[in-house]
Chain A
Amino acid sequence: MYVSPVREPLISGEKSYTKVTEDIYAPMTGKPGKLWFGGLTLALIALGFGLFSIFITVWDGIGTWGLDRTIGWGWGITNFVWWVGIGHAGTFISAILLLFRQKWRTSINRSAEAMTIFAVMCAGLFPLIHMGRLPLGFFIFPYPNTRDVWVNFNSPLLWDVFAISTYLTVSLLFWYMGLIPDIGTIRDRLKEGIKKKIYWFLSFGWTGSARHWARHESMSLILAGLAAPLVLSVHTIVSFDFATSVIPGWHTTIFPPYFVSGAVFSGFAMVLTLMIITRKAINLEDYITKSHLESMNKIIIATGSIVGIAYITELFIAWYSGVVYEQYAFVNRAFGPYWWAYWIMMTCNVITPQLFWFKKIRRSFAATFVISIFVNIGMWFERFVIIVTSLHRDFLPSSWSMYSPTWVEVGIYIGTFGLFFTLFFLFIRFFPVIAIAEVKSVLKTSTEKFIKKGK
């Protein structure tokens, strides 16, 4: 496959196939470092705090949260949407970019997909624990029962159940199918022993047969074809949670594509935040290069700008609609008691990503790191703004109210960080962080200098 010499190499340094294997396998060998143990411990502490907060929530009731008769959802659902959004980068990278033949995806898709799965797990927690009666949460599944009661298929929350679980399942399958050849690689590097047996088991007996590869590619492509609309559908359905209502600020038709765009936006930001650290920590700088950074940052500008346009569209149409409730909802967002949340959102999501128009900035790891964190914050506030500022002042002024979180809600949020990072730390230790086989497949065309190993 011809590649124009004008294109910048994706992978720096002199690489051979063996070198790729060695480089990516390296972080999994030897004793884990202090940093890793320290990080894992911190993550576990956060997880523990989260579990305690969840315990309090279930034991004492949702009253331990800062919600009230007017504001039924607060941090919980904000965090849910935020985490689901983050969970959009991985599958977007591996599915949609696969369809668009973007080679740079190969270095980041593995870890991004892992983040997707972990983020969706964190996200999935919230709809569960925000229920007043968690022990009866199984009512949301349409299972046959003696009362002949099924479920309400009109409910976007029910759609969510299907969407999130399908998404998690398909993402897991997709991720794991991609992992099989690489687990095979790890397996073959290990000396005989229990570890090798485990990886043998996990590798599903991968041989590298051309027939398998052909099927694997075919499957991956179609899975990508399925996953692409699936990614869209998940955040679309999450947006339906709000947009199907009649609440001003929630009910607007632009929500589905705008939410999807925002999700990819925040997902990429999170991937960037983590990968910029990870590549340093486990010496993968050659594989995740400025070229990757630039490509990802371009997507950040694109999605960020779509989000920005959506904000402005909403604002303008709210005025244009001539509906007093709509108009008030947006005036209230910008100038009401939660004005600060709105302007944090606007600054972080609309203004900061525009800095990536400057080539220097979008190719700077330090700048990208900072901006990615801004985007993470901004996207959290976006959901907060949508949920809380729309609810706290809706139709009847008599019921208007204010919301602030309690430590329990904050604790649960911290706990999901704990869960996310616990899994992430385990992942980088026990699985190849970069898709070895996929990098090899683009190695010749994408490396600064490809060396064919001697005999």
Chain B
Amino acid sequence: MYKSFEFSKKIKSFLIAMMVIGAVLAVAGVAMNLDHTHRIWANVLLNGFFFIAIAMSAGFFVIVHVLGESGWHTAVQRIPEAMSMYVPVGGVLMLLVLVGMHDIYHWSHTEHLDEILQGKAPYLNPIFFSIRTVAYIVIWSLLVIWFRKTSLKTDSNDDIRLFNKQRTIAGIFIVIFAVTSSTSAWDWIMSIDSHWFSTLFGWYMFISTFVSAVAIIIVLLFVLKRMGYMEHVNDEHLHDLGKYLFGFSIFWAYLWVSQYLLIWYSNIPEETIYYVKRIQDFEALFYGNVIINFLAPFLILMARGTKRRLNWLIAAAAIVFIGHWIDVYLAIMPGAIGHAEFGILEIGMTVLVAGIFLYVFFTNFAKAPVVPENHPFFKESFDYDNIR
């Protein structure tokens, strides 16, 4: 009844081409930047973090709907599910960061630390940092794989206990992710500006990647629909995804303002340094970030109609996706390389990692039916509507 996805040669070769181009550009970029390796490593971290966080957020998207006993999402559930399978692959990329640690993290130079960093050393030291990085990747991978496996089992087995098991996994997932989403953001991103701290930072980064994940779900849905799949996905589903994109873009803006306003207001140097750096050297990006990630989706998706029309939705999703890449760029680069740099290294690295991400996605998406037909609430997904 629902057309299974076939990972055709055409798509495969397109993605391979994408990866190759990305790889070539990236290698060229690396070659050009051998004299300042911190830019190379910062790019590895940027894309490594961005995509693994997106994959994890996609997993979060699924489990939160499982916990919320939602029905509508089952129509699109397999997309984020497949996205989440990137976690173990992306984890390898993140392990690379451990190699380049010294080029990114000031605190990893344990031999000359100032007083404050000495104070942080029990937490921020290369060994413990590596342990945590590995732990995040392993635990996250286990979680997404476990969930995915259970979910796929339902395709051949309509035992309600499998659904209950999904809920159990989701519960474990959310507890672990609630803690690790923050701590991983502190470890990987916040500690780049090694003196700076913000309690909100973890949640802020999480929402940023979560919105990106929603955007990618929409983008992938668009692509799949273009290829003739996922025809069961109707306007109501788009509307709901649109609402997510709209709502969480606003929520992201809310967190952005919360963090900025509080730091702006108190104006304490140990905190303002973060923004001062970004405003001084990345002014256009800094303000552009807010426009792209808040104003654009806000204005585009405010009307009911735009949320229900794929063309508008995909436009908003694409903008938001790029916007949040910039957001992560802004979080990493000022601390890691100190000034704005954008060139073939950035493009190549992003294209390469995006290619891998997509390849992993399509591979996994092809492995299973496009919908979980035995999901107990599956039918609900096709009999509801949004109030006008």
Interface residues of A, Cβ cutoff 8 Å to B: 1-4, 6-7, 99-101, 154, 214, 217-218, 221, 228-229, 232, 236, 240, 243-246, 251-257, 298, 305-306, 309-310, 313-314, 317, 320-323, 357
**Contact count band on B:** 35 or more
A245 close to B182 (CB less than 8 A)? no
A6 close to B182 (CB less than 8 A)? no
A244 close to B262 (CB less than 8 A)? yes
A254 close to B203 (CB less than 8 A)? yes
B268 close to A253 (CB less than 8 A)? no
B69 contacts chain A at the CB level, 8 A cutoff: yes
A320 and B197 in contact, given A232-B254, A244-B262, A246-B268 (Cβ under 8 angstroms): yes
Docked complex Cα distance between A246 and B272 (Å)? 13
A240 and B262 in contact, given A1-B383, A253-B198, A253-B201 (Cβ under 8 angstroms): yes
B202 contacts chain A at the CB level, 8 A cutoff: yes
B376 close to A4 (CB less than 8 A)? yes
A1 close to B258 (CB less than 8 A)? no
* A4 cross-chain contacts in B, Cβ below 8 A: 71, 376-377, 379-380
Interface residues of B, Cβ cutoff 8 Å to A: 67-69, 71-72, 115-117, 119-120, 123, 160, 163, 171, 175, 178-179, 182, 186, 195, 197-203, 243, 247, 250, 254-255, 258-259, 261-263, 265-266, 268, 270, 376-377, 379-380, 382-384, 387-388
A6: contacting residue among B200, B250, B255, B376, CB under 8 A? B376
* A322 cross-chain contacts in B, Cβ below 8 A: 115-117, 119-120, 195
Name 15 extra pairs, CB < 8 A, besides A7-B377, A253-B200.
A2-B382, A3-B380, A6-B160, A6-B376, A154-B265, A218-B387, A221-B387, A244-B266, A253-B262, A254-B198, A254-B199, A255-B199, A309-B178, A310-B199, A322-B119
Q: How far is the CB of A297 from chain B (nearest CB, A)?
A: 13
Q: Which residue of B lies closest to A5 (CB)?
A: B376
Q: How far is the CB of B199 from chain A (nearest CB, A)?
A: 4
B197 close to A317 (CB less than 8 A)? yes
Docked complex Cα distance between A333 and B284 (Å)? 42
A251 close to B383 (CB less than 8 A)? no
Q: How far is the CB of B185 from chain A (nearest CB, A)?
A: 11
A323 close to B266 (CB less than 8 A)? no
Q: Which residue of A lies closest to B384 (CB)?
A: A1
Q: How far is the CB of B306 from chain A (nearest CB, A)?
A: 15
B262 close to A243 (CB less than 8 A)? yes
A251 and B262 in contact, given A2-B383, A4-B376, A6-B376 (Cβ under 8 angstroms): yes
Docked complex Cα distance between A322 and B121 (Å)? 11
Docked complex Cα distance between A313 and B160 (Å)? 38
Q: Which of A101, A245, A253 has the most CB of B within 10 A?
A: A253
Q: Which of A2, A244, A306, A322 has the most CB of B within 10 A?
A: A322
* B379 cross-chain contacts in A, Cβ below 8 A: 2, 4
B120: contacting residue among A3, A228, A320, CB under 8 A? A320
* B200 cross-chain contacts in A, Cβ below 8 A: 252-254, 256-257
Q: How far is the CB of A206 from chain B (nearest CB, A)?
A: 19
* B163 cross-chain contacts in A, Cβ below 8 A: 6
* B387 cross-chain contacts in A, Cβ below 8 A: 217-218, 221
* B266 cross-chain contacts in A, Cβ below 8 A: 244-246, 251
Docked complex Cα distance between A228 and B251 (Å)? 11
Docked complex Cα distance between A3 and B71 (Å)? 9
B199 close to A252 (CB less than 8 A)? yes
Docked complex Cα distance between A330 and B301 (Å)? 43
Docked complex Cα distance between A4 and B71 (Å)? 9
Docked complex Cα distance between A229 and B246 (Å)? 12
Docked complex Cα distance between A321 and B123 (Å)? 12
